[in-house]
Amino acid sequence: MGKELTQAEIDKLINGGSPSPLTEEDIDMLGEIGNIGMGNSATALSKILNRKVSITTPKVVILEDNKMPTEYAIPYVTVEITYIEGISGKNVLNLRDEDVKIITDIMMGGKGEVKEGPIDEMNLSAAGELMNQMIGASSTALSEMMNTRLNISTPDVKITDYSTDKIDDFINGETLVMTIFDLDVEDTLKSEIMLVMTLDFAKKMIEKVKQQYTESLSTPVQSEQEVKASKSNTAEPPSKVNIQKVELQTFGEDNKKPNMFGNRHDILMDVPLEVSIEIGRVKKPISEILKFTSGTIIELDKLVGEDVNIVINNKTIGKGEVVVIDEYYGMRISEILDKNSI
């Protein structure tokens, strides 16, 4: 009988004879970071389109020789983001140009129809505003997760055709890591969205979150009441993610191997989430929004006396009525809808 292979030897074979530049724990953490950041981006997109949006199921791959896989060698609208405070590095958010046409048509009051031909300047400008808001929402979530103030330069929006343009033009030959998410816009679109970053930047983010996790372990033990309050604001932890060089793999729920976070992903327990009260909303075409001036009255979709929404991390989890407490506005909760949606 032949000699059994060790786990290290198996990993070496899977990674084409060379060790992966990221450990399994690093891959898990990169998936955690992606889920939280892009989850907030989905919320921002949902508000703009007034439709349910989900960005889920991250798949992570290290790009061999920085070459885009064949199935992704198509035109995209890309936004290059440079982090200049809190952490340094670059990443690129990618949306397929056909998807952008659908999304921007909805933004402008249409039904999500795709027009033939290249994206025009108006659609590209609308896409830039959309993706800027997605990036802002994602950066806010990452800032809270890392407990670090993050600041980015003005994002650079352009059209990139990966069948002809080189993916590594912006990173001077550094190794690239790509995370691919499923994008689902209610009754409109099922596609993918990609986030590409340098390996060095990925490692910096991972280290920042690990550092925050280590610091949280050294903080004093909370009272039972404080712990309950913290848990009530906790997002559902995403499942694990695997990596291969060529074959993209998804988060595997049956992988029971423990990692540095434990099965409960305790690191998420210390992530602060924004709690807001929403009195109403309304959808307006861009042409009308541009006419807003001081004194403009906007009619909302809520009636006088109707319950307002409790919004945690930009997701509605309950309803209640507005009250006044010592000259401050407050809220009395009347109904909890679904805390699991946080």
Q: For tokens 């679109």, what's the residue?
A: 189
| Residue 122 in domain | yes
Q: Into how many domains does the chain fold?
A: 2
Same structural domain for residues 171 and 285?
no
| Residue 256 in domain | yes
Same structural domain for residues 226 and 326?
no
pLDDT for 31: 84
Cα separation, 18 vs 70, in Å, equals 23
Give yes or no for residue 224 having a pLDDT over 70.
no
Query: Phi and psi dihedrals of 245, rounded to 5?
Result: -70, -45
pLDDT for 241: 47
Three-state SS for 89-119 is: EEEEEEEEHHHHHHHHHHHCCCCCCCCCCCC
Same structural domain for residues 23 and 126?
yes
| Token pair for 7 | 């786990």
29 secondary structure, DSSP code: H
Total residues found in the chain within this entry: 342
Query: Phi and psi dihedrals of 280, rounded to 5?
Result: 160, 175
The last residue of one of the domains, among 240, 272, 304, is: 272
The last residue of one of the domains, among 253, 272, 291, is: 272
Q: Which residue has the higher pLDDT, 189 or 291?
A: 189
pLDDT for 249: 45
Same structural domain for residues 287 and 146?
no
Q: For tokens 């002809």, what's the residue?
A: 164
pLDDT for 266: 57
| Residue 131 in domain | yes
Cα separation, 148 vs 201, in Å, equals 15
Same structural domain for residues 312 and 251?
no
Same structural domain for residues 266 and 288?
no
Query: What's the mean per-residue pLDDT of the chain?
Result: 77
| Residue 1 in domain | no
pLDDT for 313: 67
Provide, rounded to the nearest whole percent, the portion of the chain with pLDDT above 70: 73
Give yes or no for residue 216 having a pLDDT over 70.
no
First to last CA, the chain: 53
Same structural domain for residues 268 and 280?
no
User: Which domain CATH number covers 256?
Assistant: 3.40.1550.10
Cα separation, 251 vs 59, in Å, equals 7
pLDDT classification of 339: cutoffs 50, 70, 90: low
| Residue 332 in domain | yes
The last residue of one of the domains, among 221, 251, 272, is: 272
Same structural domain for residues 183 and 299?
no
| Residue 114 in domain | yes
Q: Which residues pair with 96 in a beta bridge?
A: 76
| Residue 2 in domain | no
Ramachandran region of residue 133, left (φ > 0), alpha (ψ -120 to 50) or beta? alpha
pLDDT for 234: 40
Give yes or no for residue 153 having a pLDDT over 80.
yes
Mean of pLDDT values over 40-54: 91
User: Which domain CATH number covers 289?
Assistant: 2.30.330.10
Tell me which residue range forms the domain holding 169: 7-272
Give yes or no for residue 240 having a pLDDT over 60.
no
Q: What is the dihedral of CA 162, 168, 171, 177, to 10 degrees?
A: 90
Q: Which of 14, 32, 97, 15 is nearest to 267 (CA)?
A: 32
Same structural domain for residues 290 and 146?
no
| Residue 113 in domain | yes
Task: Report the sign of the C-alpha dihedral through residues 286, 287, 293, 297, in that order.
Answer: negative
Tell me how many degrees the CA angle 107-133-27 measures, rounded to the nearest 5: 120
Q: What residue type is assigned to position 156 of the chain?
A: D
Query: Which residues, including other chains, have CB under 8 Å from residue 34's CB and lie 6 or more apart?
Result: 58, 60, 179, 181, 195
Mean of pLDDT values over 127-156: 88
pLDDT for 267: 53
Same structural domain for residues 145 and 95?
yes
Q: What is the pTM of this model?
A: 0.60
Same structural domain for residues 260 and 292?
no
| Token pair for 224 | 């039972």
In the three-class reduction of DSSP (H, G, I as helix; E, B as strand; rest coil), residue 60 is classed as strand
Same structural domain for residues 199 and 313?
no
